[in-house]
Amino acid sequence: MKDITKAHKLRLIADFLELHPEFNESVYVNYLCYLWQDKELLLKAAKLFDAKKSFDSSFAFITVPLHPQLNLVFYTDRHAVCTATKFETVKVEARPASTYEKPIEWDCHPLLAAIKDDNVI
């Protein structure tokens, strides 16, 4: 498959919606941009945009609303932008039984300070 730019890919979505206006009201787009463990680029996105900051157990997200039905979502591995500060031991019931350390508290850069437990997705 021919490599095309992200901007071109977004134009393909726009072209589809122009050709099929019946989908305009029901199509919601979250364009995901994975930043390969790039702390500086994620922090730049957090600084540049008035964006929603959130995380799950593995990733940190910066969601930039471009339109009520269109979001640009930058994300990277959580451990690339935060440091785990507290762990809990999780026992895995298997044969043989094992355990692992699961991070339960994180220390993040001040630009990501809005990422709190109430923003977990």
Mean pLDDT over 92-115 rounds to: 80
CA-based max dimension of the chain: 57
In the chain, how many domains are there?
Answer: 1
Look at residue 111 and tell me if it is in a domain. no
Q: With CA atoms as reference, report the closest residue to 112 among 43, 59, 41.
A: 43
Q: Which residue range(s) make up the domain with 31?
A: 6-79
**What are 43-101's pLDDT values in tens digits?**
888 888 878 888 888 898 999 888 888 888 999 898 888 888 988 888 888 778 788 88
pLDDT interval class at 1 (50, 70, 90) = very low
pLDDT, residue 120, reads: 46
Residue 20 phi, psi dihedral angles, 5° rounding:
-130, 70
Look at residue 25 and tell me if it is in a domain. yes
pLDDT, residue 4, reads: 67
Look at residue 101 and tell me if it is in a domain. no
Look at residue 106 and tell me if it is in a domain. no
- The position carrying tokens 């507290």 is 86
Look at residue 109 and tell me if it is in a domain. no
Look at residue 37 and tell me if it is in a domain. yes
pLDDT, residue 25, reads: 81
Look at residue 98 and tell me if it is in a domain. no
Look at residue 114 and tell me if it is in a domain. no
Structural contact between residues 35 and 74, judged by C-beta atoms closer than 8 angstroms: yes
